[in-house]
Amino acid sequence: MSDLLRQPVFIISFLIIALFVVVGATFPEAFGEAATAGLDWATLTFGWFFLVSVFGFVVVLLFLAFSKYGDTKLGPPDSEPEFSYYSWVAMLLAAGFGIGLVFYGVAEPMSHFSEPPYGLAEPETVEAARLALQYSFFNWGVSQWSAFCIVGLIMGFFQFRKGKPGLVSAVMEPALEKVAGRRQIATALDIFAVIATVVGVATSLGLGVLQVNGGLNYLYGIPESFLWQAVILAIMVVAYMISASTGLEQGIRILSTTNLTIAMGLVIFVVIFGPSLQILRSFIEGMGAYFQNFVYMSLQANPHSDSTWASSWTIFYWAWVIAWSPFVGTFVARVSYGRTIREFVIGVLMVPPLLACVWHGIFGGAALSFDLAENAGIAQVVQENITFSLFRFLELFPATTLLSLLSMALIFIFLITSADSASYIVAQLTDYGSTNPPLLKRLVWGTMIAGICLTLIATGGLEALQAAAILAALPFVLVLYAMVWMLFRELARDRREQLERLYEEHEQTPVGASLEEARQLSENGAQEESS
């Protein structure tokens, strides 16, 4: 315990978050009003900045994947992946992503169906249904995962390739070498990352808690109340502590693969017993529209309209994932040891987004088909209470009770794995970047994440969760820009060192080196011979 007190990142981060929880609990109304005001200001003033930044991350990642740096491994040149591809993908989804997917899988397309994006169609029409899937795919596709991917790539490269601690400050260390007060700046960077991570994860957990409570209310009449939400969160904390005690290779991996299997089972069931042909046709059309309009949607700032659609959906998502990125990115890096940059980018940037689009296409596509063809009233339920959407949808299938229970089990396991993996990463960030942080720290941070989650729920529910995510993300975007710059600098240096080593060993330019690189190596060799 005495060692903890000598760790400034841990202490300062803990005190700031604890103060946040105490103030929210003491002045819930004022706290909620301040969060709402902050949300309005941030989205109005910096919405465009989030759009440009996320689109830029996508461009940078695609460039790196297919550039000369693509074969660089996140680890030594002879390293091999630690986990199988299936386990790897399952653990990517376990990093909190799954909660939001289950929460919004039916709710988001039906929300866009009732209120089409930017007013581009009449509500509850065929055109509105097409736009609903197009924008759902966009919000959950490549762009969302670009923030996770860029942070994961940077952390993985510096941690496993360069032998640095898994910290934001370690990435920026070369740039801070000659800066006065570099130690204090490094500490501040790590504190930024911890706070953004805790708030981003708390947002995700809050969504899961709200939906579990909504499901219990819809199925069994249990009230949607702060008391029941606190009970659900408490049960989750106990389950998380049990999982945390088993370690990364056991607890998180086993729960993650179990959850992925349940999710795949639900998908197959909906396809078989739902409007299969309509689902397939809607999915293909939605994906086509998504790819066709990707650049336009990425930069759709809507400057001549007062529409709040973007701030409620796309901008919130981008801010949410940026706030979340230190956690998900660091976790993704941790489980991606030994993979090449090309493999990492293609895997992280393509596989989870594709699975997300499939989920929305099947669940959202089926829900849209039910409302258009049978007037099932799913859109109306979503407007009345968004947490009911999935359970109203499942009522239209056989074995409704079983499906609903499996869905709540899916959400609950996602809650556990999210808290477990998040506490692991936050403990790592506050333990000098250790890849095996002490269990005590993991339990402390798991409890703190639950505390801030409960505070946000108490002070404003979904709106407070959105506000916290956006405000936490804003300063971290600037940190991300600096981290990207350092990545390019160190990649160039690493490649130069590798090529020079190969040139010295084989006395010829390595295959794949560019003409410019060959020229530089030849000049270096000639200079050495003359000297």
**Residues 237/415, Cβ–Cβ less than 8 Å:** no
Helix (H, G, I), strand (E, B) or coil at 319: helix
**Bridge partners for 73 per DSSP:** 340
d(CA 35, CA 357): 31
User: Where exactly are the structural domains of the chain?
Assistant: 4-299+316-485
Phi and psi torsions of 115, nearest 5°: -130, 85
Look up residue 523 and give its amino acid. E
Residue 131's pLDDT is: 95
d(CA 468, CA 37): 11
d(CA 47, CA 419): 29
The secondary structure of 417-470 as a DSSP string is HHHHHHHHHHHHHTTTT-SS--HHHHHHHHHHHHHHHHHHHHHHHHHHHHHHHH
d(CA 256, CA 89): 9
Closest CA to 103 of 387, 458, 453, 405: 387
Q: Which residue has the tokens 């010295």?
A: 504
**Residues 458/27, Cβ–Cβ less than 8 Å:** no
Helix (H, G, I), strand (E, B) or coil at 512: coil
**Residues 417/252, Cβ–Cβ less than 8 Å:** yes
Q: Kindly tell me the burial class for residue 68, based on how many C-beta atoms sit within 10 Å of its own C-beta (0-12, 13-18, 19 or more).
A: middle
CB atoms < 10 A from the CB of 224, how many? 16
CB atoms < 10 A from the CB of 211, how many? 28
Fold of 4-299+316-485: Amino acid/polyamine transporter I (1.20.1740)
Q: Kindly tell me the burial class for residue 242, based on how many C-beta atoms sit within 10 Å of its own C-beta (0-12, 13-18, 19 or more).
A: exposed
| Buried b or exposed e, range 188-197, using 16+ CB within 10 angstroms | bbbbbbbbbb
CB atoms < 10 A from the CB of 117, how many? 24
**Residues 490/156, Cβ–Cβ less than 8 Å:** no
**Residues 481/172, Cβ–Cβ less than 8 Å:** no
Residue 32's pLDDT is: 74
Residue 423's pLDDT is: 81
Q: List CB contacts of 82: < 8 A, sequence separation 6 or more.
A: 335, 337, 338
Q: What is the DSSP letter of 398?
A: S
d(CA 352, CA 142): 9
Closest CA to 483 of 213, 260, 176: 176
Q: What is the DSSP letter of 386?
A: G
Q: Is residue 63 within a helix (H) or strand (E), and if so which, with residue range?
A: helix 28-65
Residue 2's pLDDT is: 46
25-32 contacts, C-beta under 8 A, 24 or more apart: 25/455, 25/458, 28/458, 28/459, 29/459, 31/455, 31/459, 31/460, 31/464, 32/459, 32/460, 32/463, 32/464
Residue 272's pLDDT is: 93
Look up residue 266 and give its amino acid. L
Per-residue pLDDT of the chain (531 residues), as tens digits, is 445 556 788 888 888 888 878 887 788 778 777 777 877 787 778 888 989 999 999 999 999 999 989 988 898 888 888 878 777 777 776 655 677 788 888 999 999 999 999 888 999 999 999 999 999 999 999 999 998 899 999 999 998 888 888 788 888 888 787 777 788 888 888 888 888 778 777 777 887 888 888 888 888 888 988 899 889 888 888 877 776 666 545 556 677 777 778 888 899 999 999 999 999 999 999 999 999 999 999 998 776 665 678 878 888 888 878 877 887 787 788 888 889 999 999 988 888 898 889 999 999 999 999 999 888 889 999 888 888 888 899 999 998 888 888 888 888 887 777 777 778 778 888 887 776 788 888 888 888 888 888 887 887 666 666 677 677 777 888 889 999 999 999 998 888 877 777 666 666 555 555 555 655 655 655 555 555
